[in-house]
């Protein structure tokens, strides 16, 4: 099963993708996580993209396409039964490239999920998001806090605030989403069945709604 999850930054894509990937044994492919990993490791790619990530702009389509090529091909190895893409595609050009890559490697998209959340909720969520520096688990100080302040429930490592989760950058990222990413929904309309879900519901209700759709 291959799933694309779309939605504004902070709509809950990463949270839901982690839950779905565990439940259905799918590879969770997050281009944001892959890019942040490159920055943390100080690789050539990391140096190239660091300031772009901090600014809230998009990395070039070519760079992320390379990451996606590697990750989707790898996902068929081991016991993964498909993938869930989180944060990709982010432009119509990326959606077009994805079609080509999938054709080349003989894979297809089964479901497109869109999480709808309004901008005020997004700003509040992202300002309070904390991420585990090690296992990347995602928390929220207001509605999904860790058991012990500043520590990951899963691996015990420190929780950090992402550089791009500061108020000004959040607004910038919302603009980028509206201008560059939202048109993908139109691109997919008619090509795939699009499942729109009210992402303002509590985490478990969103995941129950996704589970119903995925099993249809």
Which stretches of the chain bind ligand ADP, using CB under 6 A?
A: 7, 9-15, 125, 129, 138-140, 143-144, 199, 201-203, 206
- Report the C-alpha gap between 151 and 138 in whole angstroms: 11
Interaction residues for ligand AMP, span 149-208 (CB under 6 A): 164, 173
Catalytic residues: 13, 90, 129, 162, 173
Cis peptide before 66 (omega within 30 of 0): no
In angstroms, what is the minimal distance from the CB of 38 to ligand AMP? 10
- Integer angstrom CA distances of residue 214 from 77, 112, 208: 22, 10, 10
Closer CB to ligand ADP, 101 or 138, in the complex: 138
* Member of 39, 45, 90, 140 binding ligand AMP (CB under 6 A): 90
What φ, ψ does residue 43 adopt, rounded to 5°? Answer: -70, 170
Closer CB to ligand ADP, 107 or 201, in the complex: 201
Q: Which residue pairs, CB below 8 angstroms and at least 24 apart, start in 70-73?
A: 71/27, 71/29, 71/34, 72/29, 72/101, 72/102, 72/105, 72/107, 73/105
Give the contact letters, 102-121, x = binds to ligand AMP (CB under 6 A), - = no. --------------------
Closer CB to ligand AMP, 173 or 195, in the complex: 173
Task: Decide which of ligand ADP, ligand AMP, none touches 195; Cβ closer than 5 to 8 Å per partner kind.
Answer: none
How far is residue 36 CA from its own chain's centroid?
12
């Amino acid at each position: 099963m291959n799933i694309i999850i779309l939605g504004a930054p902070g709509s809950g894509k990463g949270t839901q993708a982690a839950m779905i990937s565990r439940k259905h044994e799918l590879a969770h492919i997050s281009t944001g996580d892959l890019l942040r990993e490159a920055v943390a490791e100080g690789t050539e790619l990391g140096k190239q993209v660091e300031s772009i990530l901090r600014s809230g702009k998009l990395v070039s389509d070519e760079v992320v396409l390379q990451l996606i090529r590697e990750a989707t091909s790898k996902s068929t190895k081991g016991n993964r039964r498909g993938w869930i893409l989180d944060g990709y595609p982010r432009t119509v050009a990326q959606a077009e490239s994805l079609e080509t890559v999938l054709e080349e490697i003989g894979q297809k998209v089964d479901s497109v999920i869109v999480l709808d959340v309004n901008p005020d909720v997004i700003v509040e969520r992202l300002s309070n998001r904390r991420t585990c520096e090690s296992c990347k688990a995602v928390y929220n100080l207001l509605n999904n806090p860790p058991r012990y302040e500043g520590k990951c429930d899963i691996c015990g490592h420190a929780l950090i605030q992402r550089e791009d989760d500061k108020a000004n950058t959040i607004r910038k990222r919302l603009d980028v989403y509206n201008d560059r990413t939202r048109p993908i929904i139109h691109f997919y309309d008619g090509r795939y069945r699009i499942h729109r879900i009210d992402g303002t519901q509590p985490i478990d209700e969103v995941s129950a709604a996704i589970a119903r759709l995925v099993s249809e």
